[in-house]
Amino acid sequence: MAVHAHPDDESSKGAATLAKYSADGIGVMVVSCTGGERGDLLNPRFKDLHLDMEGIAELRREEMATAAQILGVAHEWLGYEDSGYHEGDPATWDLPENCFAHRDPEEEIEALVRIIRRFRPQVMTTYDESGGYPHPDHIRCHVVSLGAFEAAGDPARFPDAGEPWTVSKLYYNVGFSMKRMIAINDAVVATGVVSPYADWITRFTENPRPDPYERATTHIDVADYFQHRDDALKAHATQIDPDAHWFAVPHELEKQVWRTDDYELARASVPTSAPENDLFAGVRE
């Protein structure tokens, strides 16, 4: 089970992993905590499209259904409203009333526990305590995912939410790491092409922060599923320009330089040791 903040997050963070395990015959479910209603229309092709929040939500539901089909996964909505992007000190955020990051997290944890107890996953993936980046929904997604992981197997917690189920392992996505970007950037530049990551590397250099790759424990070879990842991401057409930098690196070059989706093992109730090359290490045995 992969728990994400908004529709499209599942396609930009670990999508190839989802497609790989689905193709291997493993049941895979994506849970989207919000409908992405307050997301901007980031694809310039939609610049003249004027929609209210419900119109955007409907469009993003359709996009999510297409992406799930491409990846071969089941999908559920946790059912909460997008909080919108906010910058600066979280104490200064003026969150919309009733949005995901503004509600009681216990209520949201119970909603996710219900899905966990019904789907009964061995493995969950989500974001670390930083949310991957400081969007309030990503940070709340971490809080809710960790809370539900811990509560789902406890019969004293939410006794009306289904039969208890203990998830064996919890992982955090290791997303846009500096190490990965530099490796791919250098390989692209070596071919004589202007790298699509140059601006990102400059921004990270000017505003340094810990590289999440330093915490990575688990590396899944997903090179055969890069096209599934890209196709799923393009399905979120309001959010992704098909001519954007996301798709500028040839798959053959990417396969040579960085073949893996990377994760940090955060919790485990089964014996395993790092480095791992399988999210189900210790579970299959």
* pLDDT single digits (tens) 89-106: 888 899 999 999 999 999
Q: Is 104 annotated as a binding residue?
A: no
The tens digit of pLDDT for each residue in 195-227 reads 788 888 888 888 888 899 999 999 999 999 999
Which pLDDT does position 198 carry in this prediction? Answer: 84
Q: What is the C-alpha separation between 58 and 237, in angstroms, rounded?
A: 13
Q: Is 224 annotated as a binding residue?
A: no
Q: What is the C-alpha separation between 67 and 168, in angstroms, rounded?
A: 27
Residue 20 has pLDDT above 90, yes or no: yes
Residue with tokens 């955007």: 56
The tens digit of pLDDT for each residue in 1-12 reads 999 999 999 999
Single pTM value for the model = 0.95
Question: Can you give the residue ranges of every domain in the chain?
Answer: 2-175+260-268
Which pLDDT does position 14 carry in this prediction? Answer: 97
User: What Cα–Cα distance (Å) separates residue 95 from each residue in 19, 57, 88, 215?
Assistant: 34, 18, 13, 31
Question: Band of the pLDDT at 129, cuts 50, 70, 90?
Answer: very high
Question: Band of the pLDDT at 165, cuts 50, 70, 90?
Answer: very high
Q: Which CATH superfamily is domain 2-175+260-268 in?
A: LmbE-like (3.40.50.10320)
Which pLDDT does position 96 carry in this prediction? Answer: 94
If 0-12 CB within 10 Å is exposed, 13-18 middle and 19+ buried, where does residue 92 land? exposed
Question: Band of the pLDDT at 234, cuts 50, 70, 90?
Answer: very high
Summary mean pLDDT of the chain? 94
**180 CB-near residues (< 8 Å, 6+ apart):** 213, 258, 262
Question: Band of the pLDDT at 22, cuts 50, 70, 90?
Answer: very high
Which pLDDT does position 228 carry in this prediction? Answer: 98
Q: Is 9 annotated as a binding residue?
A: yes
Please give, one letter per residue, the 3-state secondary structure of the chain.
CEEECCCCHHHHCCHHHHHHHHHCCCCCEEEEEECCCCCCCCCHHHCCCCCCHHHHHHHHHHHHHHHHHHHCCEEEEEEEECCCCCCCCHHHCCCCCCEHHHCCHHHHHHHHHHHHHHHCCCEEEECCCCCCCCCHHHHHHHHHHHHHHHHCCCCCCCCCCCCCCCCCEEEEEECCCHHHHHHHHHHHHHCCCCCCCHHHHHHHHHCCCCCHHHHCCEEEECHHHHHHHHHHHHHCCCCCCCCCHHHCCCHHHHHHHCCEEEEEEEEECCCCCCCECCCCCCCCC
**Mean pLDDT calculated for residue range 21-34:** 98
